Amino acid sequence: MSRTVYVNGEYLPEEEATVSIFDRGFLMADAVYEVTSVLGGKLIDFEGHAVRLKRSLDELDMAEPCSKDELLAIHRKLVEANGIDEGLVYLQVTRGSDGDRDFVFPSEDTKPTLVLFTQSKPGLADNPAAKTGAKVISIEDIRWGRRDIKTVQLLYPSMGKMMAKKAGADDAWMVEDGYVTEGTSNNAYFVKDGKIVTRPLSTDILHGITRKAVLRMAEEAQMQVEERLFTIEEAQGADEAFTTSASAFVMPVVEIDGVALGDGVPGPIATRLREIYLEESLKTAI
Ligand code: PDD
């Protein structure tokens, strides 16, 4: 069935939605994006995603395509039009097109391009992968230095997923100067002796919206959290590990570079955090 999508003020069947070939998102990856999950037909942490979008736009001197309230209305309309119970809303803003290819940014009156579409993912909350856990490999992090800006430069993360797939794993954790930065599309954590360890925020990683919520919930549940650099070797010696993202919530990790963690099954802290996150975020979904 054809989805209804949103492009620059219009709601259209997906096959009728178009963007210029001169759009800077297409030519230069001059674009930022957000992915917001939907559970029970409601948006999870819309506010967090809207705030990060604004920050990404500001960091790149890109104009806001519309107000936060208008963005919320578009999200809601698409969720309703496409009957999304569990799934995702993808949003992308580009610097637009001034009708040619030029490295120099177009003039300030060039309109940004705004595109949104939904992805239906029945079973997102009750994902069987969360019961078996994910296997990850490590790869070098060769991305650019502003990973805190959520740009659409996703070629290397895509290559990382393919490297993982080839190696019989589910995902890759990226490593820079000997320390884990993050997963290809998630933030990375390990747990040792009851303490949750994750890399601190900087320009080296995306400031995950799920990360922020999960760390707050972990502290509220009296779990210990330490934000510091860590190596693959340290994570391999951990009791358990997990990742967080809007598309997979809290996902246990059971193997790193072929080394099983603990008993090789999802650990109690990751499992509990997934439950808490789903429970708590549903309460504030809008
Ligand atoms: N990815 N780190 C990277 C590199 C990511 O791409 C993502 C999200 C995260 C987690 O951020 P959040 O908790 O805000 O989803 C961390 C999204 C889901 C994607 O590209 O599909």
Looking at residue 188, what is its pLDDT? 98
Ligand 1 centroid–CA 128 distance in Å is 20
Looking at residue 11, what is its pLDDT? 98
Tell me which of 78, 100, 120 is where a domain ends: 120
Looking at residue 96, what is its pLDDT? 97
Pocket lining: 138 vs ligand 1, CB cutoff 6 Å: no
pLDDT tens-digit profile of 239-284? Answer: 999 999 999 999 999 999 999 999 999 999 999 999 999 999 999 9
Comparing C-alpha atoms, which of 240, 203, 235, 198 is closest to residue 219?
198
Assess whether 106 and 26 both reside in one domain: yes
Q: Which residue has the tokens 């922020």?
A: 212
pTM of the shown model: 0.97
The residue to mutate among 119, 187, 199, 214, having the most atoms of ligand 1 within 8 angstroms of its beta carbon, is: 187
* Tally of residues, the chain: 286
Assess whether 82 and 217 both reside in one domain: no
Q: Answer whether residue 1 shows pLDDT above 90.
A: no
Assess whether 140 and 242 both reside in one domain: yes
Assess whether 14 and 150 both reside in one domain: no
Assess whether 272 and 212 both reside in one domain: yes
CATH of the domain at 60: 3.30.470.10
Determine the structural domain holding residue 61 and report its residue range. Answer: 4-120
Assess whether 206 and 154 both reside in one domain: yes
Ligand 1 centroid–CA 107 distance in Å is 31
pLDDT tens-digit profile of 10-61? Answer: 999 999 999 999 999 999 999 999 999 999 999 999 999 999 999 999 999 9
pLDDT tens-digit profile of 89-141? Answer: 999 999 999 999 999 999 989 999 999 999 999 999 999 999 999 999 999 99
Average pLDDT over residues 176-189: 98
Looking at residue 137, what is its pLDDT? 98
- Give the count of domains, the chain: 2
Per-residue exposure over 189-207, b if at least 16 CB sit within 10 Å of its own CB, e if not: bbbbeeebbbbeeeebbbb
Assess whether 262 and 141 both reside in one domain: yes
Tokens of 144: 């650019």
CATH of the domain at 275: 3.20.10.10
